[in-house]
Amino acid sequence: MQHKKDIKSFSGAVLSEWFADRKIKPYRAGQVLRWIFHRHVDSFDKMTDLSKDLRRLLSDEFSISRLQTVRVEESTDGSRKYLFRLKDGNLVESVLIPEKNHWTLCISSQVGCAQGCRFCLTGRGGFIRDLVSSEIVNQIWEIRKGLDSEARLSNIVLMGMGEPLANYDNVVAALKVIMAEDGLQFSNRRVTLSTAGLVPGIERLGGEINMNLAVSLNAADNEKRTYLMPVNRRYPLETLINACRAFPLDRRRMITFEYILISGINDSPEDAEQLAKLLRPLRAKINLIPFNAFEETKFQKPAESEILAFQKILTDHHYTAMIRRSKGSDISAACGQLRRKEAG
């Protein structure tokens, strides 16, 4: 039996070539992709402006992949956590986050994670495999299909399970579909990739695609960051900051540095002063994230007074420093928690 190709993994340009090779007008590729990504159709038979012969050909050659929704948990604050099953039975999570006048969707790029950050639940389960590009795209497709007002879903962040730059080729292929006119049509100003600091990936990304970059920093000295994030042994802060300095930014864009505040570890006034000094050469803004505790960890969230004092030091140094409160505290809020619950 012929193995069908997943049409969601094809860009408009590549699909147009496929049509042209078969003496079919290339503009048909755009029609097909608009049916899939704009009208959320999951069957070629429903593409009524295509001939029956073309629909039959497409059905013979391609599949339109879907994810199975295993569970959705909804918080009292409006956030929703989705657990999806992939074709091989593995599970991934996505989180829909309500903002003031829009939604942000946090998606995963791997099943598990190999980075081993001490504060992360996902990494404790180890790394299983990379997601292919269509599995990354399908998290958005499935969730947007089920929304009452899909226009309010305007922001995408790759901050879920996995390290996006460790799955570079699949992630970039997915990003091109996410931002394409004949794809999911998200503005590049509203798509953000978050990395633990894989420097070669940062360097490649800057030359290949225009989007927002966020870096999970969490400490401003090498000893402390290596304790929290083993990746710092390979790419210490000096190397990481140089890569960030070289990352191309549009006018008025900044790199976001995520800093998880952990009581007694990285939350002192000295830590804040060191962070301000470290980021001085960069166009940087800082998201302060009070630690979201989970079972099996000794880490704790700092007291509110310490969080505010840390923020004030940064703002006194003229940084934009926002405190990002965890949402979904009444559901499986920590990344990887819902997947672990389902797996038993």
Domain ranges of the chain: 5-63, 68-343
Active-site residue flag, 296? no
Annotated catalytic residue within 113, 117, 120, 335: 335
Tell me the pLDDT of the chain (344 aa) as tens digits.
458 999 998 889 999 999 999 999 999 999 999 999 999 999 999 999 999 999 999 999 999 999 999 999 999 888 999 999 999 999 999 999 998 889 999 999 999 999 999 999 888 889 999 999 999 999 999 999 989 776 689 999 999 999 999 999 999 999 999 999 999 999 999 999 999 999 999 999 999 999 999 999 999 999 999 999 999 999 999 999 999 999 999 988 999 999 999 999 999 999 999 999 999 999 999 999 999 888 888 999 999 999 999 999 999 999 999 999 876 666 555 565 555 555 54
- What is the residue whose two structure tokens read 């003229």? 318
Question: What is the Cα–Cα distance from 37 to 22, expressed in whole angstroms?
Answer: 23
5-63 CATH fold? DNA polymerase; domain 1 (1.10.150)
Question: What is the Cα–Cα distance from 67 to 34, expressed in whole angstroms?
Answer: 19
pLDDT for the residue numbered 2:
59
Active-site residue flag, 106? no
Question: What is the Cα–Cα distance from 107 to 215, expressed in whole angstroms?
Answer: 16
Is there a contact between 321 and 314 (Cβ–Cβ < 8 Å)?
yes
pLDDT for the residue numbered 344:
47
Is there a contact between 77 and 327 (Cβ–Cβ < 8 Å)?
yes
Annotated catalytic residue within 73, 93, 163, 258: 93
Helix (H) or strand (E) holding 169: helix 168-179
Q: Is the pTM of this model over 0.85?
A: yes
Any bridge partners for residue 193, and if so which? 158, 213
First to last CA, the chain: 36
pLDDT for the residue numbered 149:
75
pLDDT for the residue numbered 148:
79
Is there a contact between 210 and 188 (Cβ–Cβ < 8 Å)?
yes
Q: According to CATH, what is the number of the domain 68-343?
A: 3.20.20.70
Query: 246 burial class (0-12, 13-18, 19+ CB within 10 angstroms)?
Result: exposed
pLDDT for the residue numbered 329:
62
